[in-house]
Structure 1
Amino acid sequence: MAPLLLLFLLPVLLLLAAADAFPASCLNATCGGHAIHYPFWLNDSTSDCGYPGLGLVCENNDTLILPVKLHRYRVGHIDYQKHTLVVSDADVVESEIDYGCPRLHVNLTIDYASSWLQLTQSDSNVTFLYGCNKNLSSSSSAVELRGCPESFAGKMSFVLLDGVATGTEAYEYECEAVVVAPVLEEHKKELENASSFGGPGGVVWAGFQLEYSAHSPQCDRCERSGGWCGYRHNQTNGGDMMFTCFCNSGPTSHRCGTYCYSSHALLSSGSLLCF
């Protein structure tokens, strides 16, 4: 009876072991109605269980933020089945949608050679030109922004829907700032067709799509063994991040092992119960 009892208790023991083995950032969490699962994690702990660059910040317990190159992007939705998420520039506040002048300050910068995040085919670009001394209305893709602070100084601001703007154009029209922003192609088309979508501010607020994927041999090996890929601070080496494979039995530096349970009944049949 003892081996049979152990078989019933084993799932419970494994769950308890997992709870002890995985740090708090590995366990499911919520923020503002978003469920946060692996490979995302809340980056408020020293043990980071998940992909580098996918650490999220929960602001005021209701706003989920994805930091990219020290800039903040508001998370609107995460699709764990399709490995995509929709984000928008956190610089844009909801009130700017009504005024018609979304204020962006930085271009999205992604190191495509090393980043876990990539833009998708659902995205397209628009270009914002702020504080221009000359009128761009002659451009067929230019839409003038209303309510920008620069307008009180007699300057004009525009968004180019074809997403093309160079430093030469900015110089030619004497613009103070130029920012290229990714948006969802379907929403930009509504703006091109003069559909009611909240104007340029509504398109930027709706955000754009990013795809996340694992392209690390270490993470692939860890995940195939049943673990969670992560990184921890190496306290003995100046706090550098050290690859860690979080397993039911505890963290390892490589992969999870295979553990087998045997009983006299199982051995007599020539079988082992492995986990």
Structure 2
Amino acid sequence: MALLPLLLLPVLLLVAAADAFPASCLNATCGGHAIHYPFWLNDATSDCGYPGLGLVCENNDTLILPVKLHRYRVGRIDYPTHTLVVSDDDVADESEFGCPRLHVNLTIDYASYWLQLTQFDSNVTFLYGCNKNLSSSSVVELRGCPESSTGKTSFMLLDDVATGTEAYECEAVVVATVLEEHKKELGGGGSSPPAPENASLFGGPGGVVWAGFELKYSAHSQQCDRCERSGGWCGYRHNQTNGGDMMFTCFCNSGPTSHRCDFSGQFSGLELRGLVRLP
């Protein structure tokens, strides 16, 4: 009779661990991307990650990051370095590489937002439907734009800061973020005017935008690192004693904590990692 409780103990531990972790957070994927804290899929509970970092999975193969009501395609998430590569979803296929039609500038509130540009990023400026031509070693003329049928010209400026663009009488001006290395390839290092037909190995101006840029995230990364090293799963929960605000939570086999798991008298973090997939 004494053996029965001992036989049931592993089962009870597994059940307790499963209850401690939100089931919808485990092994979430989209298009080959593993979705872990601080990100979460928008069809799962927000306990899985940082508030506001819900990603959209379309057709099970395209991962979208919404930023201020605009869409950016996720090309890569690198959890060890806390970085991801995204590209403006306005440029969705190669047919738009000659004349990428962008609509919004990337805007990030650096004082409070979780995303930051990295030192590998740079800016380019698109000028659409201009009445006056631009002549400079840092200018790439766009080909195949709708405005060309009306005698107007569109351009891509490789300068980081484009000022005085109003002098060219353009219908629209949009600043886009790209990787510096790709911009240099597009402009040939800035030594001579680039040739539009083979301006970049990425397929011209639109290819450079399509290749994306890098963002760094810092949503409680150190707290999450400590939690995962102790065998836990990072997430967020509503703080019922503070107006329902979201607070960082480390989900453990014994239940959620605010810091890290305590394995005193419990099974090891190695066993916990067999229950969940961690980055």
TM-score range, shorter chain: 0.7 to 0.9
Preserved contact between residue 64 and residue 75 of structure 1 (Cα < 8 Å): yes
- The alpha-carbon distance between structure 1 residues 203 and 9, as it changes in their structure 2 partners (threshold 3 A), is farther
The alignment covers a number of residue pairs equal to 256
Is the deviation greater in 61-70 or in 198-207? 61-70
The aligned residue for residue 149 of structure 1 is 146
| SS in structure 1 at match of 2:201 | coil
The aligned residue for residue 121 of structure 1 is 119
Answer yes or no: is 1:242 the counterpart of 2:246: yes
The aligned residue for residue 185 of structure 1 is 180
Give the partner amino acid of 2:119: Q
Preserved contact between residue 91 and residue 100 of structure 2 (Cα < 8 Å): yes
Answer yes or no: is 1:37 the counterpart of 2:41: no
CA RMSD of aligned residues (A): 3.2
Distance 2:238 2:141 in 1: 49
Distance 2:261 2:32 in 1: 36
- The alpha-carbon distance between structure 1 residues 46 and 195, as it changes in their structure 2 partners (threshold 3 A), is closer
C-alpha displacement of 1:73: 0.5
Distance 1:227 1:216 in 2: 14
The aligned residue for residue 87 of structure 2 is 88
The aligned residue for residue 59 of structure 1 is 58
The aligned residue for residue 112 of structure 1 is 110
- The alpha-carbon distance between structure 1 residues 245 and 9, as it changes in their structure 2 partners (threshold 3 A), is same
| SS in structure 2 at match of 1:128 | strand
Answer yes or no: is 1:74 the counterpart of 2:73: yes
Answer yes or no: is 1:175 the counterpart of 2:174: no
Is the deviation greater in 210-219 or in 36-45? 210-219
Give the partner amino acid of 1:245: T
Distance 2:13 2:64 in 1: 33
C-alpha displacement of 1:148: 1.2
C-alpha displacement of 1:146: 0.8
- The alpha-carbon distance between structure 1 residues 71 and 148, as it changes in their structure 2 partners (threshold 3 A), is same
- The alpha-carbon distance between structure 1 residues 176 and 222, as it changes in their structure 2 partners (threshold 3 A), is same
C-alpha displacement of 1:218: 7.1
- The alpha-carbon distance between structure 1 residues 15 and 124, as it changes in their structure 2 partners (threshold 3 A), is farther
The aligned residue for residue 276 of structure 2 is none
**Percentage of matched positions with identical amino acids:** 79
Unpaired segments ≥5 residues, structure 1: 263-272
Distance 1:56 1:147 in 2: 33
Preserved contact between residue 41 and residue 50 of structure 1 (Cα < 8 Å): yes
- The alpha-carbon distance between structure 1 residues 223 and 53, as it changes in their structure 2 partners (threshold 3 A), is farther
Distance 2:249 2:24 in 1: 14
Distance 1:35 1:80 in 2: 10
Answer yes or no: is 1:161 the counterpart of 2:158: yes
Q: Deviations over 1:44-100 (max 9, x none)?
A: 2343322234321101211001111111110011112222111100111204445x0
2:264 paired residue among 216, 236, 260 = 260
Preserved contact between residue 25 and residue 47 of structure 1 (Cα < 8 Å): no
- The alpha-carbon distance between structure 1 residues 157 and 7, as it changes in their structure 2 partners (threshold 3 A), is farther
- The alpha-carbon distance between structure 1 residues 274 and 60, as it changes in their structure 2 partners (threshold 3 A), is closer
C-alpha displacement of 1:274: 8.1
TM-score, normalised with respect to structure 2: 0.78
Answer yes or no: is 1:210 the counterpart of 2:209: no
Preserved contact between residue 49 and residue 230 of structure 1 (Cα < 8 Å): yes
- The alpha-carbon distance between structure 1 residues 20 and 8, as it changes in their structure 2 partners (threshold 3 A), is closer
Give the partner amino acid of 1:92: V
| SS in structure 1 at match of 2:206 | helix
Q: Deviations over 1:213-238 (max 9, x none)?
A: 23589768866765444334579999
Preserved contact between residue 21 and residue 246 of structure 1 (Cα < 8 Å): no
| SS in structure 1 at match of 2:186 | helix
Unpaired segments ≥5 residues, structure 2: 189-198, 270-279
Distance 2:227 2:33 in 1: 26
